[in-house]
Amino acid sequence: MRELLTPFLTGTASGAILLLAALGLTLTFGQMGVINMANGEFLMAGAYVAYLTQQVITSTGLSIIVAIPAAFLVAGLLGLLLEVTIIQFMYKRPLDTLLATVGVALVLQQLARDLFGAQGDPVKPPTWLRGNISVFGYHWPHRQLFTIVLALAALGALSSVLKYSSFGRRIRATVQNRELAETLGISTRSVDRMTFFLGSGLAGVGGVAIALISGTNPTLGTVYIIPAFLVVVAGGVGQIKGTVIAAFAVGIITAYLTDWTSGSMSQVIVFALVVIFLQVRPQGLFTVRTRSLA
């Protein structure tokens, strides 16, 4: 029982981080067709914000509470900056944004290395996150539980913004039919910018969760970006529902495979599984039904 439960619990936690990383990707990818490879570096930025707030606010409990909105803001602003300076000129050729944002990712990584050193820095979790709860004899760290709560809270906030606020309605209108939304007086340009802010900010929140579990690191983003994209691809682009299911599925399956084989083998198998899955559903788990050919 315990052998079967442990990977499930740790996998759910890593799925929660993947979810936070993938939500921003699926929003920008679904709405604008932009592939933001720098999203991993926004995770990293969030992690460094958690580290920096801890340097300023010594109380570990308070610093984490402050770090979450701060990371959202910092990563969101970085995303906004990226949109304004680079992405907005490339909407006509989305595939090129992929390589341009790879360039941004390289610059941000090196920047982090120059500012904070190549070695990672630890982020101390507050006392109320240091313990663990016993689940059928397995000591499940509070931090992992916290990650899941954080991801679900972010998901809840995002879905209610999308569903109930007028800003959310504008986003959905733009996703469904950009031209028609424009004729209704929606400024799709400013909607695009806000979506970028929102998606990047979510990655920043994810970065705080990562910092609590494994500390900061300049190359932290590169670890998560590819699994996060696999989640987006498997879940169906622009589909929050699909992204949620795919994130937890990838997280949990990876955890079980790591348990049974090894960390590296599990990566290879998950990759193969995603390719096989795309044979069955080339558009991902959920798709928007359109009458277009592609």
Site of interaction with other proteins (CB under 8 A): 29, 33, 35, 86, 89-90, 92-100, 102-107, 109-110, 113-114, 222, 226, 229-230, 233, 262-265, 267-268, 271, 274-276, 278-279, 282, 293-294
In the complex, minimum distance from the CB of residue 108 to other proteins, in angstroms, rounded to a whole number: 8
- The residue among 141 and 284 lying less far from other proteins, judged by its C-beta, is 284
3-class secondary structure, 138: strand
Contact present, 101 and 38 (Cβ < 8 Å): yes
Confirm if 172 and 103 have CB atoms less than 8 A apart. no
195 φ, ψ (degrees, to nearest 5): -60, -40
Among residues 45 and 64, whose Cβ is nearest to other proteins? 45
Instruction: Dig out the tokens for 220 from the structure.
Output: 């932290």
Minimum distance of other proteins from residue 46's CB (angstroms):
20
Q: Which residue, 95 or 153, is less far from other proteins as judged by CB? A: 95
Q: Residue 186, exposed/middle/buried by CB under 10 A (0-12, 13-18, 19+)?
A: middle
Q: How far is the CB of 96 from other proteins (least distance, A)?
A: 5
Q: What is the C-alpha separation between 285 and 202, in angstroms, rounded?
A: 22
For other proteins, give the closer residue by CB, 29 or 146: 29
Nearest distance in Å: CB 154, other proteins: 23
Nearest distance from C-beta of residue 27 to other proteins, angstroms: 14
For 130, the 3-state DSSP assignment is coil
CB neighbour burial string for 231-269, b if at least 16 within 10 angstroms, e if fewer: bbbbbbbbbbebbbbbbbbbbbbbbbbbbeeeeeebbeb
Element (H, E) at 14: helix 2-32
Please, which residue, 15 or 126, has the CB nearer to other proteins?
A: 15
Q: How far is the CB of 44 from other proteins (least distance, A)?
A: 14
Question: In this structure, are residues 232 and 243 in contact, taking their beta carbons and an 8 Å threshold?
Answer: yes
Q: Which is nearer to other proteins, 94 or 168 (CB)?
A: 94
